Structure 1
Amino acid sequence: MASVAKRKWTNAKGEQKENWEVLYKEGGKHRSQTFKLKRHADAFKRKVENELHEGTHVASADGVTLDAAAADFERHLEDRMISGALGKQTARNYRGHLRNHVLPTFGRHKFHEIRPVEVHDWFRGLMKNGMKKRGLGLGAAGGGLSGQFARRSLNVLSIFFRWGIPRSYAKTNPCIAGLAMLGGVRKSKIETFTREDVVAILRAVETRAWKHHDSTHAILKCSVHLAVFCGLRIGEIMGLTRPNVMLDAGIIQARHSLTCDDELKGPKSKSGIRDVPMPPHLVLLLREYLAKHHIPNRPDLVFRTRSAKDGGEPAQIVFGVFRANSWHPLLARSGVTSGAPHFHALRHFAASLMIDEGLPLTEVASLMGHSTFDMTLQVYAHPLVNGHRRRAACDAIANSMLGAPIEANSENGRAPLRIGCA
């Protein structure tokens, strides 16, 4: 399939030169590659023969670097965004991972030259050292990335390859084998609030911060209660429309999510479309908000604010501003400064609370909008009971099986086991 031959010639200065040439045929074309050393030529010959046998070979002359293809790939993302197949925020995230993490390492590489082991080492480097900027080396970002965030960069590289394979830039996707070499990515530990934390937050949110308008305080209060007692995400809260808030029936219809670009989109999956019951106090809270503070707007969203730039026109409540100006100060006022600073942790608490109060796991999964209860159990179910309650539960189980409480013998610390004795 391939052969190695010594090639000799005389240059313009009359000097004798020689090298080793690998000759092979691929796709009906005669190809060649030259090397100074025979062992390099032999290694390339074996590599070419294996790739030709597996159908994965791409000639160096036909190779394209990731840098050269990046502009076309970003236009592809733009086209998908315009067609509605990709959200603006997702497209922005893809571009960020591509420019900050993928191209600085692989930009000068040709698609077919990237090997799974290189993908593996790059991924580990992201988690250990953070971003790599050209000329600055590893660690330019000041610390490593979390496993989940680094996995997003790996996902973008994989999408880049899936886009490039039909264009003959590569024959295989090294990210698949690279991910297999990683043996899975450990997820970051998810923190949640304790009952005491949430009680403190609920008490603190009753008092309006001195710099907040009444409407700003009302939005924060409603958002906290919707997250704690209904388990809604912040995007679902800000994406609620008036028809979705059925006050007379005491039902929240989760049908939309508001993106950072003020786009009202559907849920992540069909299971995200759900009806969530509201406790009576939340019905009163929302009824009061709609009567006093609701701003009429074209999408008929429940929560909007007035824009200072557009003459007081209804505007989106920016998530970053909400966190910085409302959520974080609320945590400071409540005295909750550690554990779970993210607003999304309230949703985790809601799921754990439902389970702790005896609601079946399948029902909790349905209320949270999960397609399977495995997600609820593995990610959202956090223990809320303390050691005393656990001990009491274990004692109750033992007593129900043994028939009577057992006390340790004062002499040897043991008691006779009498199952079923009164």
Structure 2
Amino acid sequence: MASVTKRTLPSGETRWQVRYRDQGGQQRSRQFRTKKEAEAFETRTRGEMVTGTHTPDATSITVAEAADLWLQTCEGESLQASTLKGYREFVKNHIKPSLGSVKLSRLSRPQVVAFKTTMVEKRSRVTARKVVSALGAILKDAMMRGLLAQNVATGIRVESRRAEDFDGENETDSIDRIPSPDEIGDMLCAAERMWPLVMEVEGDDGEMVRRPTPWYPLLTVAAFTGLRISEVLGLAWANIDFRAGLVKVRRRVNFKRDLGPVKSKTGRREVPIPPMAVRVLKEWKMACPPTELDLVFPFWDKKPMHYNVARKQCMVPVQVACGWSKTRPAIEAKDGKKRRIPLPEVRYGFHDLRHFAASMFIDLGWNAKRVQAVMGHSTITMTFDLYGHLFDRKHDNADAMAAFESSVFGRR
């Protein structure tokens, strides 16, 4: 039977102590500053003892340890390597530094809310949403293992901003920025000028060799299809229908340069491409070296290309050529090594080209369901979360109201 008693510490301060025996008969105690807190703990402990879910502080593991157990669970579920990598980064970079030392038995809902608030303030809303969701999954896994009585993160999530919350130029949230058609045109013109489809470069032996250069066609495909860069790098020639002007998305390349299927059923899709992109791809096919994997954009070793190679050798240089870059200060290396010169800071990444394509699809008048299908979103909700404000812009309220009025009064 649990009991609540008042204690006076040697310092003169008052504490309220809860004494009880756990499921194993072990005597336990815990002190609180107020009687209300002590009684609430005593009531909750009684219920947990009945259900067999009570975990005393002395035997409770920390959030960091629970996170490691959750990652083991994820590894056993055959998730995509990139998904596991993201989960590990959430745990290492965000959850452990903030909450890792807290015992599960002492983790409170206000602490989780404070963690969520900090994430929203310091990180993008997309990152904050994923990290808070990962914390909830960690606690859910701990409950399934019998290490936690209740998931204090239940119902705590980072909501997407609605279209009416956006204002002015900074109206995108999970979309950091969308290139304009003029900017995409500048990038493609610069790429065509900088990189002929075949270039002479210095080989490993010092001799000049002719090497195919994929950057102009790669940028063209990324900008006009809205494919994820992993899907662009996994494209097969067999999945491009030149006559119909379609790209069939079936494969992707992960961060380990492994080629595999797309992540979900909705990822398998067909995306139309304009005549200009068809022409560029036909020209590139003549120069592209054949590979066993039938890759449209292979690396020089005829294996799948890593995303960082495309970023460093294509996306950054083309924006430097457009005059959109800022140099970053060199990073001092330790142990007498040379200073590391970071890549210049540029406006856009490959994912911004994906957002550009989606915005163009919407400007063409495509409805949300078609945009969802072409972009490969798992739900229509995701499409509206990302691009709902763009759909709103397509509606001319004055014209709509005039048509509404005409339909009612035009018959008179």
1:315 maps to 2:309: no
Cα offsets for 1:172-230 (capped at 9, x unmatched): 12222443xx6x36544532122222222232222125999479874222222222322
1:353 maps to 2:360: yes
Paired letter, 1:192: I
Deviation at 1:23, TM superposition (A): 3.4
The separation in 2 between residues aligned to 1:371 and 1:291, in whole angstroms, is 36
The separation in 1 between residues aligned to 2:58 and 2:395, in whole angstroms, is 68
1:59 maps to 2:45: no
Say which of 209, 234, 239 aligns to 2:229.
Answer: 234
1:351 and 1:376 in contact (8 A); partners too: no
Q: Write the mapping of 1:5-404 to structure 2, written as runs, cut at 5 A.
A: 22-27=18-23, 29=25, 31-33=27-29, 35=31, 43-53=37-47, 55=51, 57-69=54-66, 71-80=68-77, 85-128=78-121, 144-179=122-157, 184=159, 186=161, 187-209=173-195, 213=199, 218-297=213-292, 299-306=293-300, 313-335=301-323, 341-380=348-387
Deviation at 1:147, TM superposition (A): 2.7
The separation in 2 between residues aligned to 1:368 and 1:281, in whole angstroms, is 20
Deviation at 1:33, TM superposition (A): 0.9
What secondary structure, in the 3-state scheme, does the structure 1 residue paired with 2:19 have? strand
2:253 and 2:304 in contact (8 A); partners too: no
The separation in 1 between residues aligned to 2:241 and 2:107, in whole angstroms, is 55
1:351 and 1:381 in contact (8 A); partners too: no
2:320 and 2:346 in contact (8 A); partners too: no
Deviation at 1:250, TM superposition (A): 3.1
What secondary structure, in the 3-state scheme, does the structure 2 residue paired with 1:341 have? coil
Paired letter, 1:254: V
What secondary structure, in the 3-state scheme, does the structure 2 residue paired with 1:252 have? strand
How has the CA–CA distance of structure 1 residues 374 and 106 changed in structure 2, closer, same or farther, with 3 Å as cutoff?
closer
2:191 and 2:318 in contact (8 A); partners too: yes
How has the CA–CA distance of structure 1 residues 170 and 319 changed in structure 2, closer, same or farther, with 3 Å as cutoff?
same
The separation in 2 between residues aligned to 1:161 and 1:380, in whole angstroms, is 32
Deviation at 1:118, TM superposition (A): 0.5
The separation in 1 between residues aligned to 2:193 and 2:102, in whole angstroms, is 58
Larger Rg: 1
The separation in 2 between residues aligned to 1:374 and 1:161, in whole angstroms, is 26
Cα offsets for 1:91-118 (capped at 9, x unmatched): 2222222222222232222112101101
The ranges of structure 1 where at least 4 consecutive aligned residues each deviate by more than 6 angstroms after the TM superposition are 214-217, 399-402
The separation in 2 between residues aligned to 1:339 and 1:97, in whole angstroms, is 25
Q: Give ranges in structure 2 of 5+ residues lacking alignment.
A: 9-14, 162-172, 201-209, 326-344
The separation in 1 between residues aligned to 2:274 and 2:103, in whole angstroms, is 59
Corresponding residue for residue 413 of structure 1: none
1:254 and 1:274 in contact (8 A); partners too: yes
Identify which range, 116-125 or 337-346, moves more after superposition: 337-346
Cα offsets for 1:347-404 (capped at 9, x unmatched): 22222222322344433332222345454344246759x9xx999x9679859978xx
CA RMSD of aligned residues (A): 4.0
The separation in 2 between residues aligned to 1:211 and 1:300, in whole angstroms, is 18
How has the CA–CA distance of structure 1 residues 113 and 379 changed in structure 2, closer, same or farther, with 3 Å as cutoff?
same
1:192 and 1:340 in contact (8 A); partners too: no
2:66 and 2:138 in contact (8 A); partners too: no
Q: Give ranges in structure 1 of 5+ residues lacking alignment.
A: 9-18, 129-143, 307-312, 403-418
Deviation at 1:261, TM superposition (A): 1.4
Deviation at 1:67, TM superposition (A): 4.1
The separation in 2 between residues aligned to 1:283 and 1:240, in whole angstroms, is 14
State percent identity of aligned pairs.
28
How has the CA–CA distance of structure 1 residues 73 and 278 changed in structure 2, closer, same or farther, with 3 Å as cutoff?
closer
1:23 and 1:30 in contact (8 A); partners too: no
TM-score if structure 2 supplies the norm length?
0.73
2:250 and 2:261 in contact (8 A); partners too: yes
The separation in 1 between residues aligned to 2:311 and 2:263, in whole angstroms, is 22
Q: How many residues align?
A: 363
Deviation at 1:32, TM superposition (A): 3.0
Paired letter, 1:262: R
